């Protein structure tokens, strides 16, 4: 059982090489089958060809080249396909990870703003709020909590949008389990907002989206402000 697990891990690490060998064997099998069906050249015939070629180096080289050229071509095509598929899957994974994190920071912002509003005094007129020290203190606490929520949102949105600010995508989109649990208890755990990077830019710079120069200056300011 242990040997089987080791073999499985090795095949996963070397999946490209394994696929190349399988493709080469399939191509060789097809070549032998076609020759046997068309000209009745069985394995004994090819054995005689190899023995004869071993006595003539030039003929042996020509035979090896004839066999290896299609195999190498197939291997190169297969490797190119593997790299293309892996690149496509990696891009889709990064795009999905970015979208999930964008959803998360917007949901967290909504929850934190809701919690900040709960700190506001209730059933008091404006003049009573200004005259009551406790009401003023609660208003200040609510305002500070709202400002802090917006600052956290801007920091994480900037880290997601500006590639030169983050070391890796996994580091930029890391979410604590406690934060996910907080959203779940607050009623924002299973909401799919489908937030795009374009929407994040509009939330960060609502007045600068129609002015490219102003948008560039705002982005530069945020990069320098949240630089770690």
- The pLDDT value given to residue 148: 92
Helices (H), 119-204: 126-131, 133-161, 169-172, 177-185, 197-204
Contacts of 195 (CB under 8 A, 6+ apart): 99, 102, 103, 106
Region 75-79: mean pLDDT is: 77
pLDDT for res 61: 74
pLDDT level of residue 226 (50, 70, 90 thresholds):
very low
According to the model, what pLDDT value does residue 227 have?
47
Q: Which of 27-31, 79-83, 95-99 has the weakest average pLDDT?
A: 27-31
Tokens encoding 42: 């069985």
The pLDDT tens digits for 106-128 are 999 999 999 888 887 766 555 55
The tokens describing 70, both together, are 């299609």
Non-local CB neighbours of 218 within 8 Å, separated by 6+ positions? 204, 205, 208
pLDDT at site 123:
61
Tell whether the model's pLDDT for residue 83 goes beyond 60: yes
Would you place residue 73 in the very low, low, confident or very high pLDDT band (cuts 50, 70, 90)? confident
Is the model's pLDDT at 47 over the cut of 60?
yes
Judged by phi (left if over 0) then psi (alpha if -120 to 50, else beta), residue 175 lies in beta
Is 19 within 8 Å of 83 (Cβ atoms)?
Answer: no
**212: pLDDT strictly greater than 70:** no
Q: What is the pLDDT of residues 52-66, one digit of tens each?
A: 766 777 766 776 777
Question: In whole angstroms, what is the distance from residue 203 CA to residue 227 CA?
Answer: 20
pTM for this structure?
0.58
Considering only residues 211 and 74, tell me which one the structure prediction assigns the higher pLDDT.
74
pLDDT above 90 as % of the chain: 6
Judged against a pLDDT cut of 70, whether residue 103 lies above it is answered with yes
Look over the chain and give the mean of its residue pLDDT values, rounded to a whole number.
75
Query: For 166-173, what is the mean pLDDT?
Result: 68
Give me the phi and psi of 170, to 5 degrees please.
Answer: -65, -40
Tokens of 80: 């190119």
| Residue 99 tokens, joined | 């979208």
Structure tokens given for 218: 């705002």
For residue 5, pLDDT over 80 is answered with no
- The DSSP-derived string for 33-92 is HHHHHHH---HHHHHHHHHHHHT-HHHHHHHHHHHHHHHHHHHHHHHHHHHHHHHHHHHH
Greater model confidence, 100 or 166: 100
Q: What is the pLDDT of residues 122-146, one digit of tens each?
A: 665 555 556 777 877 888 888 899 9
């Amino acid at each position: 059982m242990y040997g089987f697990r080791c073999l499985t891990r090795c095949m996963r690490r070397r999946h490209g090489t394994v696929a190349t060998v399988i493709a080469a064997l399939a191509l060789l099998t097809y070549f032998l089958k076609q020759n046997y069906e068309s000209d009745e050249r069985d394995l004994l015939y090819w054995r005689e060809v190899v023995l004869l070629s071993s006595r003539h180096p030039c003929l042996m080289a020509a035979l090896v080249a004839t066999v290896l050229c299609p195999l190498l071509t197939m291997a190169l095509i297969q490797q190119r396909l593997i790299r293309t598929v892996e690149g496509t899957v990696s891009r889709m994974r990064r795009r999905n990870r970015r979208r999930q994190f964008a959803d998360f920071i917007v949901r967290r912002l909504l929850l934190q703003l809701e919690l900040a509003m709960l700190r506001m005094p209730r059933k008091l007129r404006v003049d009573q709020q200004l005259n009551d020290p406790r009401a003023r203190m609660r208003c200040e606490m609510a305002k500070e909590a709202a400002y802090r929520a917006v600052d956290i949102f801007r920091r994480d949105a900037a880290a997601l949008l500006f590639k030169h600010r983050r070391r890796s995508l996994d580091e930029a989109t890391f979410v604590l389990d406690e934060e996910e649990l907080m959203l779940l208890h607050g009623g924002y755990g299973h909401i799919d907002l489908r937030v795009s990077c374009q929407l994040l830019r509009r939330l960060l710079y609502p007045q600068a989206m129609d002015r490219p120069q102003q948008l560039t200056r705002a982005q530069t300011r945020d990069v320098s402000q949240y630089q770690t």
